[in-house]
């Protein structure tokens, strides 16, 4: 019996959020006295899969079917269920991503398992209990949930686990075939468009995000957001009002009704910090807020705050960022 971790790839490499899930899964396996196996699907470099050994994964099952290069929920579920059956896995770990959430819920039905999403801590296993802590109410509270079914499925919140790196450790990579048929691809997407932002950095995967709100006073000032993002190697984002009035495209909108991000650093310029926006960024490790209103609610959630006009503060930050490169 092993712990099974589903890892997602991007451009042949393993996503950071999946490296976190791999670390989490290997720590759960260690506590259970067993091993951790990963399952990977589609377009992933086998060298990258072998390096999962650095996160404590002992074996990787890899289905390289070309049809899996695009996400197809039913096909992914069949592959992961096959891996779980082969490994007799009773604990399955995912990243709390859009893919992880979609697949996890379907697997819970297929495997008659318990599902906990947005999990923030390692499970407490005592007295036959398997209790996980998960964020609820858009991250404003936490709930302890006891998973009582035979199969337990955990979706780990991004940035809640520090990635371990035991350099030199490698995992064995084995081929996996789930004997997929056309039926699993009946609802396959015709096209998938990955929206990137300035500098070609995908917003969902960015380590640093520079975001702007109505305090930028108009689209003609957005070059300041883009310049700072370029210097920091960051993605750009915006608040919902900014996308609603057409200053920025909707795929840059971050918040409860937009994209949820979890970078190491989130810089918010001219954003008041409405609760709907906070719901999309509160997983960020460090939040820096720039706002001329000292009473802006965003300051309550900030790690660092600058009271000032974003149009005056941003040029100084850009100069400081440029000086770091010298």
Using the predicted structure, report yes or no on whether residue 284 has a pLDDT greater than 80.
yes
pLDDT for the residue numbered 29: 96
The mean predicted confidence, pLDDT, of the chain is 91
What's the average model confidence in pLDDT over 144-161?
Answer: 94
Using the predicted structure, report yes or no on whether residue 193 has a pLDDT greater than 90.
no
Is the torsion defined by CA of 144, 150, 155, 161 positive or negative?
A: positive
232 and 94 co-located in one domain: no
Percent of the chain at pLDDT > 90 equals 71
Separation CA 91–CA 176 (nearest Å)? 19
pLDDT for the residue numbered 141: 86
171 and 317 co-located in one domain: no
Annotate the chain with three-state secondary structure: CEEEEEECEECEEECHHHHHHHHHHHHHHHHHCCEEEEEEECCECHHHHHHHHHHCCCEEEEECCHHHHCCCHHHHHHHHHHHHHHHCCCEEEEECCHHHHHHHHHHHHHCCCEEEEEECCCCECCCCCCEEEEEECCCCEEEEEECCCCCEEEEECCCCCCCCCCCCCCCEEEECCCCCCHHHHCCCCCCCCCCECHHHCEHHHCCEEEEECHHHCCHHHCHHHHHHHHHHCCEEEECHHHHHCCCCCHHHEECCCCECCCCCEEEEECCCCCHHHHHHHCCCCEEEEEECCCCCCHHHHCCEEEECCHHHHHHHHHHHHHHHCC
What's the average model confidence in pLDDT over 122-146?
Answer: 90
Tell me which of 179 and 239 has the higher pLDDT: 239
pLDDT for the residue numbered 98: 85
179 and 283 co-located in one domain: no
| Residue 57 resides in a domain | yes
From 260, 252, 251, 265, select the one nearest 278 (Cα to Cα): 260
Q: Which residues contact 280 (CB under 8 A, 6 or more apart)?
A: 254, 255, 256, 258, 259, 260, 261
Structure tokens at 162: 């520090």
Number of other residues whose CB lies within 10 A of the CB of residue 22: 30
Q: Using pLDDT thresholds of 50, 70 and 90, give the confidence band for residue 196.
A: low
207 and 105 co-located in one domain: no
262 and 177 co-located in one domain: no
Number of domains the chain is built from: 2
Q: What pTM was computed for the model?
A: 0.85
| Residue 97 resides in a domain | yes
**Last residue in a domain, options 185, 209, 241:** 185
Using the predicted structure, report yes or no on whether residue 23 has a pLDDT greater than 70.
yes
| CATH number of 92's domain | 3.40.50.620
Separation CA 269–CA 312 (nearest Å)? 11
From 87, 111, 104, select the one nearest 29 (Cα to Cα): 87
Q: Which domain, by its residues, includes 35? A: 2-185
Using the predicted structure, report yes or no on whether residue 223 has a pLDDT greater than 90.
yes
* Site of tokens 């490296």: 19
125 and 232 co-located in one domain: no
| CATH number of 239's domain | 3.40.50.1220
46 and 136 co-located in one domain: yes
- The torsion region of residue 121 among left (phi > 0), alpha (psi -120 to 50) and beta comes to beta
Separation CA 161–CA 147 (nearest Å)? 20
pLDDT in tens, 255-270: 988 988 989 999 999 9
181 and 205 co-located in one domain: no
162 and 17 co-located in one domain: yes
């Amino acid at each position: 019996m092993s712990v099974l971790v589903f890892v997602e790839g991007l451009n042949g490499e393993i996503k950071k959020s999946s490296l976190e899930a791999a670390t989490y899964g290997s720590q759960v396996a260690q506590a259970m006295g067993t091993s951790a196996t990963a399952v990977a699907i589609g377009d992933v470099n086998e060298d990258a899969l072998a390096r999962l050994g650095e996160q404590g994964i002992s074996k990787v099952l890899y289905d390289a079917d070309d049809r899996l290069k695009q996400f197809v929920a039913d096909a992914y579920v069949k592959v992961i269920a096959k891996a779980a059956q082969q490994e007799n896995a009773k604990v399955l770990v995912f990243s709390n991503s859009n893919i992880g959430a979609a697949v996890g819920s379907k697997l819970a039905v297929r495997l008659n398992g318990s599902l906990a999403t947005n999990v923030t801590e390692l499970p407490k296993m005592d007295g036959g209990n398997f209790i996980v802590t998960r964020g609820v109410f858009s991250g404003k509270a936490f709930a302890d949930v006891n998973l009582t079914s035979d199969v337990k499925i955990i979706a780990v919140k991004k940035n809640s686990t520090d990635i371990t790196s035991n350099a030199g450790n490698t995992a064995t990579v084995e081929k996996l075939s789930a004997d997929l048929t056309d039926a699993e691809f009946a609802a396959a997407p015709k096209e998938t468009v990955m929206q990137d932002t300035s500098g070609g950095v995908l917003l969902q995967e960015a380590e640093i995000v520079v975001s702007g709100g109505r305090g930028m006073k108009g689209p003609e000032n957005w070059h300041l957001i883009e310049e700072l993002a370029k210097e920091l190697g960051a993605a750009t984002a915006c608040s919902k009002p900014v996308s609603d009035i057409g200053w920025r495209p909707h795929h840059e909108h971050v918040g409860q009704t937009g994209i949820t991000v979890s970078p190491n650093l989130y810089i918010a310029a001219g954003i008041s910090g409405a609760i709907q926006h906070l719901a999309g960024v509160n997983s960020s490790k460090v939040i820096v807020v720039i706002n001329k209103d000292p009473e802006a609610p965003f300051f309550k959630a900030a790690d660092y705050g600058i009271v000032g006009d974003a149009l005056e503060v941003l040029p100084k930050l850009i100069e400081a960022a440029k000086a770091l490169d010298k």
